Structure 1
Protein backbone atom coordinates (compact mmCIF):
# COMPACT_ATOMS: atom_id res chain seq x y z
CA UNK A 1 0.00 0.00 0.00
CA UNK A 2 1.20 3.49 -0.80
CA UNK A 3 0.03 6.56 1.08
CA UNK A 4 0.53 9.99 -0.44
CA UNK A 5 2.81 12.26 1.58
CA UNK A 6 1.32 15.17 3.47
CA UNK A 7 2.54 18.42 1.91
CA UNK A 8 1.96 21.81 3.54
CA UNK A 9 3.54 25.21 2.88
CA UNK A 10 3.56 28.68 4.36
CA UNK A 11 5.39 31.84 3.38
CA UNK A 12 6.97 33.97 6.07
CA UNK A 13 8.41 37.48 5.75
CA UNK A 14 11.91 36.63 7.00
CA UNK A 15 14.99 35.25 5.20
CA UNK A 16 15.61 31.48 5.15
CA UNK A 17 18.23 31.53 7.90
CA UNK A 18 15.79 33.21 10.30
CA UNK A 19 12.90 30.92 9.30
CA UNK A 20 15.13 27.87 9.80
CA UNK A 21 16.24 29.15 13.21
CA UNK A 22 12.67 29.76 14.41
CA UNK A 23 11.42 26.43 13.11
CA UNK A 24 14.21 24.33 14.58
CA UNK A 25 15.46 26.38 17.52
CA UNK A 26 12.16 27.76 18.81
CA UNK A 27 9.85 24.83 18.10
CA UNK A 28 8.83 24.73 21.74
CA UNK A 29 7.53 28.29 21.45
CA UNK A 30 5.20 27.60 18.54
CA UNK A 31 4.24 23.91 18.90
CA UNK A 32 0.65 23.72 20.11
CA UNK A 33 0.22 22.87 23.78
CA UNK A 34 -1.42 19.49 24.22
CA UNK A 35 -0.24 18.15 20.85
CA UNK A 36 2.51 16.09 22.43
CA UNK A 37 2.83 12.50 23.58
CA UNK A 38 4.32 12.83 27.07
CA UNK A 39 2.39 12.13 30.25
CA UNK A 40 2.27 15.84 31.07
CA UNK A 41 1.98 18.96 28.90
CA UNK A 42 5.28 19.99 27.35
CA UNK A 43 7.36 22.90 28.54
CA UNK A 44 9.66 22.70 25.53
CA UNK A 45 10.23 20.80 22.31
CA UNK A 46 13.83 20.34 21.25
CA UNK A 47 15.48 19.52 17.94
CA UNK A 48 19.17 18.95 18.57
CA UNK A 49 21.05 20.88 15.84
CA UNK A 50 22.93 18.08 14.11
CA UNK A 51 22.40 14.94 12.07
CA UNK A 52 21.98 12.14 14.58
CA UNK A 53 20.53 14.50 17.16
CA UNK A 54 17.35 13.85 19.07
CA UNK A 55 13.89 15.35 18.62
CA UNK A 56 11.93 15.31 21.87
CA UNK A 57 9.61 17.08 24.26
CA UNK A 58 10.41 18.05 27.83
CA UNK A 59 7.71 18.50 30.48
CA UNK A 60 7.66 20.75 33.54
CA UNK A 61 9.41 18.10 35.66
CA UNK A 62 12.24 17.76 33.14
CA UNK A 63 11.00 14.41 31.87
CA UNK A 64 11.96 13.94 28.22
CA UNK A 65 9.81 11.99 25.76
CA UNK A 66 11.47 11.04 22.49
CA UNK A 67 9.82 11.85 19.16
CA UNK A 68 12.60 10.76 16.84
CA UNK A 69 15.94 11.72 15.37
CA UNK A 70 17.48 14.33 13.12
CA UNK A 71 18.29 12.55 9.86
CA UNK A 72 19.75 15.57 8.03
CA UNK A 73 20.76 19.02 9.26
CA UNK A 74 21.40 21.46 6.39
CA UNK A 75 20.85 25.05 7.56
CA UNK A 76 19.42 27.26 6.29
CA UNK A 77 17.78 25.20 3.55
CA UNK A 78 16.61 21.88 4.94
CA UNK A 79 16.06 19.70 7.98
CA UNK A 80 14.94 16.06 7.78
CA UNK A 81 13.43 14.57 10.92
CA UNK A 82 12.72 10.94 11.65
CA UNK A 83 9.23 10.79 13.21
CA UNK A 84 9.31 7.75 15.48
CA UNK A 85 5.80 7.99 16.85
CA UNK A 86 3.48 5.07 16.20
CA UNK A 87 -0.24 4.86 15.47
CA UNK A 88 -1.00 4.95 19.21
CA UNK A 89 1.05 8.17 19.45
CA UNK A 90 3.81 6.54 21.50
CA UNK A 91 7.54 6.65 20.77
CA UNK A 92 8.66 3.64 18.72
CA UNK A 93 12.35 3.58 17.72
CA UNK A 94 11.60 0.77 15.26
CA UNK A 95 9.18 2.92 13.22
CA UNK A 96 10.40 5.91 11.25
CA UNK A 97 8.40 8.14 8.96
CA UNK A 98 10.04 11.30 7.62
CA UNK A 99 9.29 14.97 8.11
CA UNK A 100 11.29 17.08 5.66
CA UNK A 101 11.15 20.85 5.97
CA UNK A 102 12.68 23.09 3.32
CA UNK A 103 13.29 26.84 3.44
CA UNK A 104 13.43 28.50 0.00
CA UNK A 105 13.80 32.23 -0.68
CA UNK A 106 10.54 33.72 -1.96
CA UNK A 107 10.82 37.43 -2.72
CA UNK A 108 11.68 39.16 0.55
CA UNK A 109 10.58 36.13 2.55
CA UNK A 110 10.82 32.37 2.69
CA UNK A 111 8.60 29.58 1.44
CA UNK A 112 8.59 26.86 4.11
CA UNK A 113 7.40 23.47 2.88
CA UNK A 114 6.82 20.49 5.12
CA UNK A 115 6.51 16.99 3.64
CA UNK A 116 5.59 14.11 5.95
CA UNK A 117 6.27 10.91 4.00
CA UNK A 118 6.65 7.13 4.28
CA UNK A 119 3.27 7.01 5.98
CA UNK A 120 2.62 3.49 4.68
CA UNK A 121 4.97 2.37 7.46
CA UNK A 122 2.03 2.77 9.84
CA UNK A 123 0.65 -0.44 8.31
CA UNK A 124 -3.05 -1.07 8.81
CA UNK A 125 -3.38 2.31 10.55
CA UNK A 126 -1.74 4.27 7.72
CA UNK A 127 -4.85 5.87 6.22
CA UNK A 128 -6.26 6.87 9.61
CA UNK A 129 -2.95 8.31 10.83
CA UNK A 130 -2.34 10.11 7.52
CA UNK A 131 -5.74 11.78 7.90
CA UNK A 132 -4.96 12.81 11.49
CA UNK A 133 -1.52 14.16 10.60
CA UNK A 134 -2.91 15.86 7.51
CA UNK A 135 -5.37 17.69 9.76
CA UNK A 136 -2.71 18.65 12.31
CA UNK A 137 0.19 19.93 10.23
CA UNK A 138 -1.61 22.96 8.70
CA UNK A 139 -2.42 24.39 12.13
CA UNK A 140 1.09 23.77 13.43
CA UNK A 141 2.66 25.46 10.41
CA UNK A 142 0.36 28.42 10.92
CA UNK A 143 1.49 28.68 14.55
CA UNK A 144 5.09 28.65 13.30
CA UNK A 145 4.27 31.38 10.75
CA UNK A 146 2.50 33.48 13.39
CA UNK A 147 5.48 33.34 15.75
CA UNK A 148 7.92 34.06 12.94
CA UNK A 149 5.94 37.13 11.89
CA UNK A 150 5.62 38.32 15.51
CA UNK A 151 9.36 37.92 16.09
CA UNK A 152 10.11 39.79 12.85
CA UNK A 153 8.35 42.95 14.09
Structure 2
Protein backbone atom coordinates (compact mmCIF):
# COMPACT_ATOMS: atom_id res chain seq x y z
CA UNK A 1 0.00 0.00 0.00
CA UNK A 2 1.41 3.38 -0.98
CA UNK A 3 2.03 6.16 1.48
CA UNK A 4 -0.25 9.15 1.04
CA UNK A 5 -0.12 12.71 2.20
CA UNK A 6 -2.49 15.55 3.03
CA UNK A 7 -0.88 18.98 2.63
CA UNK A 8 -2.14 22.28 4.04
CA UNK A 9 -0.35 25.64 3.61
CA UNK A 10 -1.03 29.09 5.04
CA UNK A 11 0.80 32.40 5.31
CA UNK A 12 1.21 33.44 8.94
CA UNK A 13 1.81 37.20 9.39
CA UNK A 14 4.91 36.69 11.55
CA UNK A 15 8.63 36.54 10.86
CA UNK A 16 9.94 32.96 10.71
CA UNK A 17 11.38 32.86 14.26
CA UNK A 18 8.12 34.20 15.70
CA UNK A 19 6.02 31.79 13.60
CA UNK A 20 8.06 28.80 14.79
CA UNK A 21 7.80 30.01 18.38
CA UNK A 22 4.04 30.51 18.01
CA UNK A 23 3.71 26.94 16.73
CA UNK A 24 5.82 25.47 19.53
CA UNK A 25 6.26 27.62 22.65
CA UNK A 26 2.94 29.49 22.33
CA UNK A 27 0.82 26.64 20.93
CA UNK A 28 -1.75 26.93 23.73
CA UNK A 29 -2.68 30.45 22.58
CA UNK A 30 -4.16 29.21 19.30
CA UNK A 31 -4.61 25.41 19.42
CA UNK A 32 -8.23 24.26 19.52
CA UNK A 33 -8.65 22.21 22.69
CA UNK A 34 -10.64 19.09 23.40
CA UNK A 35 -14.19 19.12 24.73
CA UNK A 36 -13.16 19.36 28.40
CA UNK A 37 -12.75 22.90 29.63
CA UNK A 38 -9.55 23.71 31.40
CA UNK A 39 -7.27 21.79 29.07
CA UNK A 40 -3.86 23.14 28.16
CA UNK A 41 -1.88 22.16 25.06
CA UNK A 42 1.90 22.37 25.27
CA UNK A 43 5.14 20.85 24.16
CA UNK A 44 6.86 19.20 27.11
CA UNK A 45 10.25 17.76 26.23
CA UNK A 46 9.76 15.74 23.06
CA UNK A 47 5.98 15.38 23.44
CA UNK A 48 2.98 17.49 22.49
CA UNK A 49 0.48 17.10 25.33
CA UNK A 50 -3.12 17.99 26.03
CA UNK A 51 -3.24 18.38 29.82
CA UNK A 52 -6.37 18.50 31.98
CA UNK A 53 -7.27 17.82 35.59
CA UNK A 54 -7.66 14.16 34.58
CA UNK A 55 -4.05 13.94 33.38
CA UNK A 56 -2.14 14.29 30.14
CA UNK A 57 -2.77 12.82 26.70
CA UNK A 58 0.12 12.62 24.24
CA UNK A 59 -0.93 14.11 20.91
CA UNK A 60 2.47 13.68 19.25
CA UNK A 61 6.12 12.86 19.78
CA UNK A 62 8.77 15.11 18.24
CA UNK A 63 11.11 13.07 16.03
CA UNK A 64 13.03 15.97 14.46
CA UNK A 65 13.29 19.69 15.12
CA UNK A 66 15.35 22.26 13.24
CA UNK A 67 14.29 25.65 14.64
CA UNK A 68 12.99 27.83 13.07
CA UNK A 69 12.36 25.92 9.83
CA UNK A 70 11.19 22.37 10.49
CA UNK A 71 9.52 20.02 12.97
CA UNK A 72 8.49 16.37 12.52
CA UNK A 73 6.03 14.51 14.71
CA UNK A 74 4.83 10.96 15.20
CA UNK A 75 1.14 11.83 15.33
CA UNK A 76 -1.21 10.23 17.89
CA UNK A 77 -3.74 13.06 18.10
CA UNK A 78 -7.13 13.51 16.46
CA UNK A 79 -7.70 11.67 13.18
CA UNK A 80 -4.58 9.53 13.74
CA UNK A 81 -3.77 5.99 12.72
CA UNK A 82 -0.71 3.93 13.67
CA UNK A 83 2.37 5.19 11.85
CA UNK A 84 1.05 8.69 11.05
CA UNK A 85 3.71 11.38 10.60
CA UNK A 86 3.21 15.14 10.58
CA UNK A 87 5.87 17.37 9.03
CA UNK A 88 5.70 21.14 9.52
CA UNK A 89 7.91 23.47 7.47
CA UNK A 90 8.37 27.21 7.95
CA UNK A 91 9.62 29.29 4.99
CA UNK A 92 10.04 33.10 4.89
CA UNK A 93 7.47 34.76 2.65
CA UNK A 94 6.71 38.36 1.67
CA UNK A 95 3.60 38.25 3.89
CA UNK A 96 5.39 36.69 6.87
CA UNK A 97 6.04 32.94 6.97
CA UNK A 98 4.60 30.17 4.81
CA UNK A 99 3.69 27.28 7.13
CA UNK A 100 3.13 23.92 5.42
CA UNK A 101 1.77 20.92 7.28
CA UNK A 102 2.04 17.49 5.65
CA UNK A 103 0.14 14.66 7.36
CA UNK A 104 1.47 11.34 6.03
CA UNK A 105 -0.34 8.04 6.33
CA UNK A 106 0.19 4.70 4.69
CA UNK A 107 -2.52 4.08 2.09
CA UNK A 108 -4.44 7.33 2.43
CA UNK A 109 -5.91 8.57 -0.85
CA UNK A 110 -5.43 12.28 -1.50
CA UNK A 111 -8.91 12.58 -3.05
CA UNK A 112 -10.67 10.48 -0.41
CA UNK A 113 -13.11 11.57 2.28
CA UNK A 114 -10.64 10.86 5.10
CA UNK A 115 -8.07 13.11 3.44
CA UNK A 116 -10.69 15.86 3.30
CA UNK A 117 -11.44 15.48 7.02
CA UNK A 118 -7.74 15.57 7.92
CA UNK A 119 -7.17 18.55 5.62
CA UNK A 120 -10.07 20.49 7.11
CA UNK A 121 -8.89 19.69 10.65
CA UNK A 122 -5.31 20.90 10.00
CA UNK A 123 -6.66 23.85 8.00
CA UNK A 124 -8.65 24.92 11.05
CA UNK A 125 -5.47 24.80 13.15
CA UNK A 126 -3.54 26.90 10.64
CA UNK A 127 -6.33 29.48 10.44
CA UNK A 128 -6.15 29.85 14.24
CA UNK A 129 -2.37 30.27 14.03
CA UNK A 130 -2.83 32.97 11.37
CA UNK A 131 -5.15 34.93 13.67
CA UNK A 132 -3.24 34.47 16.95
**1:143 aligns to what?**
128
State the distance in 2 between where 1:106 and 1:86 align: 29
Aligned pairs, number: 129
Mark the runs of 5 or more structure 1 residues left unpaired by the alignment: 148-153
| Contact 1:96–1:121 (CA under 8 A) maintained in structure 2 | no
Bigger helix fraction: 1
| Contact 2:3–2:107 (CA under 8 A) maintained in structure 1 | no
**1:55 aligns to what?**
48
C-alpha distance 81-43 of structure 1, shift in aligned 2 (>3 A): same
Bigger strand fraction: 2
Q: CA deviation at 1:73?
A: 1.1
C-alpha distance 72-13 of structure 1, shift in aligned 2 (>3 A): same
> Over aligned residue pairs, what C-alpha RMSD do you find?
2.5
SS in structure 1 of the partner of residue 118 of structure 2? helix
